[in-house]
A and B are shown apart, each in its own frame.
Chain A
Amino acid sequence: MIGILKSMATTMKHALDGSTFTVEYPETAPDVSPRFRGVHKFSQERCIWCRQCENVCPNDTIQIVTNDQRQGEQYNLHIGQCIYCRLCEEVCPVDAILLTENFEFTADTKHDFVYNKEQLKAVPWYKDIDPLAAREPDRDAWVGEGEGEVDYQ
């Protein structure tokens, strides 16, 4: 009986202190940490078409088509099937693809989440994000170029 009363006292204490741990999303969106891996930002200007991101991607989210001079022709991003592992950002030698902190993006079907390089210039989720700045504290922390040969094709 005492145990039951103790339980009830505990919940009542919570009811009376009036504190809540849920937030009113989206009015008060919780902050994500600087390392958070949200949706990608791709920079065509930076990209050197080395195709490492395409190779490292575990589930073919990134598709790159180059011409015979190894100049980039297509850069397709199938965000609907991305698993946000951040391996593309990790291997990219020029920070051309970055995972931003934005996790708010929607589409009606998975197919709406396929973007080519032109569309990637102006996708709505970029907003005012400067992903590089967000990553800055950690830039130096990242190591792991490895000894193996770097595949620049």
Chain B
Amino acid sequence: MTGTTVAATDAASGLPAVPLQDTVLLPERIGELTGLDGFGLGGELLATFLAAFLIGNLMLAMTGVAGPWAKRKITAAFTDRIAVNRLGPAGLFIIVADSVRLLSKELIIPENADRPAYDLAPIVVAASALLGFAVIPMGSGLHLADPEVGLAYVFAVSGIASLGLVMAGYASANKYSLLGGLRAVAQNIAYEIPLVITGMSVVIFAGTLQMGEIVAAQHETLVEIAGISIPTWYAFVNPFAFVLFLVANFAEVGRNPFDTPEAPTEIVAGYQTEYSSVHFVLIYLGEFLHIFLGGAIIATIFLGGPAGPVLPGIVWFIIKIWAVFFATQWLRSAVPRVRIDQLIEIGWKGLLVLSFANLILTAVIVGLIA
């Protein structure tokens, strides 16, 4: 796999190409650093594996922080409570304690569970999210691959999660799980289309599906106010698409107000009702990974990816995806869950129509300028 050295051409303005910051992908860099690139295909594979390992662990570490700790702290702030604070500074060591606790719990598998599917579901959910990170440019050289169909790839792999959810729902042999699984599928179908279509409006702007180039296309200056230049992040260029994408993304990852597949007060915990111990950890991690993947996609295609002043790219990137995570928690504190029929209605009658309108509008604008 070769790194993209061809600079992106701004489709809209036809301005001279801007050189990309991260032209060397992570596997190659690791290959260079460790000397593995001298070992031919095997070395290249190993280097790629190491890079993937690094990125995967980074993301898992982030979910590890988010799940047991940050979520509690954020919720507590909204609800005027203190939350975890006894173990370590600001209660951070609760992460370790919680991991041990969750992993040492008894693994209970329902008698009638459909075994391979039951066991595979958490893996599918978690893996589908991890796979998505492969094409996300995280700045500071943390970029695993940059295929030309990057955006389509991300949507495709994150869509696999629906399969995992319906597997979990069906294989658990529990009616609540089944309802949750069905809800998850109905919801994902209803919201994936607006999500992808809104994503397409960005593609029209950037003229490419390649993640690296979408990021690069957001380096222009949109306007300059009092010496501060606002970059052409697509969130600023087309805020309407940004809001649409945010909403569709919350629904896609099943967060409030669209958390109907889990809906604790209605169907107990939806598809994850019957999961315990390690299985539960995986499925829970998977959910958080999906929130972060959603955040990563938003950051990449709307918020200029790793771009930002002073701090290194990866820091900015993490700040951006945590901002999206924070938004999910904020919504959770204040917005009621919509009913499943209302959710489907909003998806098909509202978001889908709006996203098409947005697509046409974008196409017209881009067409006029070009």
Contacts and interface: CB of A to CB of B under 8 A. Distances in A.
Interface string A1-21: 000100110111011001111
A11 B85 contact: no
Given A7-B335, A15-B78, A22-B82, 19 more contacts: A4-B334, A7-B334, A8-B330, A10-B334, A11-B78, A11-B333, A11-B334, A12-B78, A14-B77, A15-B74, A15-B333, A20-B76, A20-B80, A20-B81, A20-B82, A21-B80, A22-B80, A22-B81, A24-B85
A4 B338 CA distance: 12
B331 interface: yes
A8 B81 contact: no
Contacts of A24: 82, 85
Interface in A48-100: none
A19 B80 CA distance: 6
Contacts, number: 38
Interface in B88-117: none
Interface residue tally of chain B, by bracket?
Answer: 10 to 19
Interface of B: 74, 76-82, 85, 330-331, 333-335
Contacts of A23: 82
Q: Is the interface of B mostly helix, strand, loop or mixed?
A: helix
Nearest to A19: B80
A15 B77 contact: yes
Contacts of B81: 20-22
A22 B81 CA distance: 5
A132 B27 CA distance: 77
Contacts of A20: 76, 80-82
A15 B326 CA distance: 12
Nearest to A10: B334
A15 to B, nearest CB: 4
Contacts of A4: 334-335
Contacts of B330: 8, 11-12
Nearest to B76: A20
B282 to A, nearest CB: 31
A26 B334 CA distance: 31
Contact of A8 (B74, B77, B82, B331): B331
Nearest to B75: A15
Contacts of B333: 8, 11, 15
A8 B80 contact: no
Contacts of A10: 334
B240 to A, nearest CB: 14
Contacts of B334: 4, 7-8, 10-11
A68 to B, nearest CB: 58
Q: Which 10 A-B pairs have the closest CB atoms?
A: A7-B334, A15-B77, A11-B333, A11-B334, A8-B334, A22-B81, A11-B78, A15-B78, A21-B80, A20-B82
